[in-house]
C-alpha cells in the first residue's frame, strides 16, 4: 500500500522526532511486565456511528472467538472525529485511570501522549507478530517517535471526498462534479438560485475544520499544503488569503442550523435529496450503503455519487485510525490481545469494508475491495502516481495545540465571518504549534 518511496514527508512530526528534547525511556513497553490480566479488555474509541460501529462489532466478534476467556468492554464515546472522546480520555489519563487500549489518529496527534509517558512503545509487539513486514514502511515511519512505534493502525481513510446528489445537480443545470474551487463556488451558487435545496450541508463545528483543510488543499495544491506543516511555514501569504476568502464564500452556502447535527446528519441530507453537496471523509460511504438499521441502504449512482474534493484530484488526503497500549493498563494482556486483533489481516478485512476505509496492511484480501467506492479507494491508494497529503484535522500533521488553536479560530470565524482575523489567528497557531 504505502510501500512506495515517501514523496511527502510528515515533516513536522519527524522534525520533532529528530530534535525533541524528551528523554523517553524505551524500556517501559518492551521490558515492563505490567499487569498480565487477560480477564477483560476495555477498548476506548469514538466508533458509535453507522459503519464504524458495525466494523467494531465485527472485530469484537472475531476477538471474542479467538479469546474466549476475555470479556470485551466497549467504552466508545459518541461524537464525530473523536472530539468528545478525546476530552474524556485526557481526564482519565490525567487521573491515572486509563482504558486498556484507546483509539487515536496515527501521527502528530499521539505526540502529547508519548511526551507525557502515557503510552508504551510497541516495538516488541511488532517484532513478535512480524508486523514490520506487512505494514508499509512509510506508514511505520510516520507513526514512530525517536525510532519507536507507539500505535497499531487498523485502516487508511481519505479525507478529501465530495459526496453529491446527481438529481439535484441535474436540476441546477450542473453536468458533473466540480473540478476546481472556482467551479465549486459557481455550482453552489447555481444550486441556490435554481433549486430549493441546500447547496452544501455542514454539521458540527469540526466539519467546518474538515472543510477548511479541503479548501486549502484544493486552492494551494499538494506541495504548498504540505509545506504549511513544516517549521517556519508561512500562513500569511497572498495565496493563503485567497484560499481563506474562498472558504468564506463557500461557507455562505452551508446550512444555517449546522451546529445542531454531527457528520451523519449532514451526509444524510445528500442521499435524502435535501442537499446537493457534502464534503466528508470516506467513512460516509459505509454509512450510505450499509443495510438498515445502522446504515442507510442507499444506492451508488442513484442516491449519491462521489468525486475528489474540488482541486484535489490525484492527491490522497489521508488519515489512519490506530490503537495504543496505555501505561498502567489494568488488563495489559487483554490489551495486547486486542492489538493483535487490530493488526491482523482478518480483523482489518472485517472492519474496513463496513467502515468505508482500506486496510493499513499490505496483504489485504483485494476481493473485499473490488466494487463501488472501495475499489476506487484501494486503487487510488496503491497508485504510485497518487500524491500524499496528511489531514491536519484528523491528526496526521498538526500538534494537539495547533489543532485546538485552528478549531478556536474557525469557531470565531463562523460567528464573525472576518477573514483577516481568521488568517492572523492561523498565523499565530502555526508559530505557537510547539513543533
Write down the domain spans for the chain: 11-16+25-156+321-383, 161-317+393-431
Q: What is the residue whose three cell numbers read 489518529? A: 105
The answer to whether the CB of 408 falls within 8 A of the CB of 375 is no
Is 161-317+393-431 the same fold as 11-16+25-156+321-383? Answer: yes
Compute the distance between CA of residue 322 and CA of residue 342 in angstroms, rounded to an integer: 8
pLDDT of residue 178: 98
pLDDT of residue 14: 36
- Give the strands of the sheet with 358-359, arranged side by side: 358-359, 155-158, 315-319, 387-390
Q: What is the residue whose three cell numbers read 497572498? A: 238
pLDDT of residue 78: 86
Architecture field, domain 11-16+25-156+321-383: 3-Layer(aba) Sandwich (3.40)
Compute the distance between CA of residue 277 and CA of residue 265 in angstroms, rounded to an integer: 13
**CATH number attached to the domain at 161-317+393-431:** 3.40.190.10
Q: How many CA atoms lie within 13 A of 25 on its CB side?
A: 7
Question: What size, in residues, is the chain?
Answer: 435
pLDDT of residue 20: 35
pLDDT of residue 292: 87
pLDDT of residue 82: 73
3-state secondary structure of 388: strand
Q: Which residues of the chain carry a pLDDT beneath 70?
A: 1-34, 80-81, 256-260, 434-435
Question: What counts of helices (H) and strands (E) characterise the chain?
Answer: 19, 15
Amino acid at each position: 500500500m504505502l510501500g512506495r518511496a515517501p514523496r511527502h514527508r510528515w515533516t513536522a512530526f519527524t522534525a520533532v522526532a529528530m530534535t525533541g528534547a524528551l528523554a523517553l525511556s524505551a524500556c517501559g513497553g518492551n521490558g515492563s511486565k505490567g499487569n498480565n490480566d487477560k480477564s477483560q479488555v476495555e477498548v476506548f474509541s469514538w466508533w458509535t456511528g453507522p459503519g464504524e460501529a458495525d466494523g467494531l462489532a465485527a472485530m469484537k466478534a472475531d476477538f471474542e472467538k479467538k479469546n474466549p476467556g476475555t470479556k470485551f468492554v466497549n467504552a466508545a464515546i459518541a461524537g464525530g472525529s473523536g472530539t468528545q472522546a478525546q476530552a474524556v480520555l485526557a481526564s482519565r489519563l490525567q487521573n491515572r485511570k486509563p482504558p486498556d487500549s484507546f483509539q487515536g489518529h496515527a501521527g502528530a496527534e499521539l505526540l502529547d501522549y508519548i511526551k507525557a509517558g502515557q503510552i508504551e512503545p510497541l516495538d516488541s509487539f511488532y517484532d513478535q507478530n512480524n508486523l514490520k513486514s506487512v505494514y508499509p514502511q512509510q506508514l511505520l515511519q510516520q507513526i514512530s517517535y525517536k525510532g519507536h512505534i507507539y500505535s497499531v493502525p487498523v485502516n487508511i481513510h481519505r479525507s478529501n471526498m465530495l459526496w453529491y446528489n446527481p438529481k439535484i445537480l441535474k436540476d441546477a443545470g450542473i453536468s458533473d462534479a466540480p473540478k476546481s474551487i472556482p467551479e465549486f463556488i459557481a455550482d453552489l451558487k447555481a444550486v441556490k438560485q435554481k433549486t430549493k435545496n441546500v447547496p452544501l450541508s455542514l454539521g458540527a463545528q469540526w466539519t467546518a475544520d474538515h472543510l477548511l483543510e479541503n479548501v486549502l488543499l484544493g486552492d494551494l495544491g499538494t506541495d504548498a499544503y504540505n509545506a504549511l506543516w513544516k517549521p517556519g511555514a508561512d500562513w500569511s501569504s497572498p495565496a493563503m488569503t485567497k484560499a481563506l476568502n474562498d472558504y468564506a464564500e463557500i461557507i455562505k452556502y452551508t446550512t444555517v442550523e449546522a451546529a445542531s447535527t454531527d457528520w451523519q446528519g449532514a451526509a444524510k441530507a445528500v442521499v435524502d435529496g435535501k442537499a446537493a453537496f457534502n464534503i466528508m471523509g470516506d467513512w460516509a460511504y459505509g454509512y450510505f450503503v450499509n443495510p438498515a438499521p445502522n446504515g442507510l441502504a442507499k444506492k451508488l449512482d442513484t442516491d449519491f455519487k462521489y468525486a475528489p474534493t474540488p482541486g484535489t484530484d490525484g492527491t490522497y488526503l489521508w488519515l489512519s485510525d490506530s490503537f495504543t497500549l496505555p501505561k498502567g493498563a489494568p488488563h495489559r494482556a487483554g490489551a495486547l490481545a486486542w492489538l493483535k486483533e487490530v493488526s491482523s489481516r482478518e480483523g482489518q478485512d472485517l472492519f474496513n469494508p463496513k467502515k468505508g476505509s482500506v486496510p493499513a496492511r499490505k496483504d489485504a484480501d483485494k476481493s473485499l475491495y473490488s466494487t463501488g467506492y472501495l475499489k476506487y479507494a484501494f486503487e487510488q491508494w496503491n497508485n504510485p502516481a497518487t500524491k500524499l497529503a496528511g489531514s491536519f484535522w484528523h491528526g496526521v500533521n498538526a500538534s494537539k495545540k495547533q489543532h485546538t488553536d485552528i478549531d478556536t479560530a474557525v469557531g470565531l470565524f463562523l460567528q464573525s465571518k472576518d477573514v483577516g482575523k481568521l488568517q492572523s489567528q492561523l498565523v499565530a497557531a502555526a508559530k505557537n504549534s510547539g513543533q
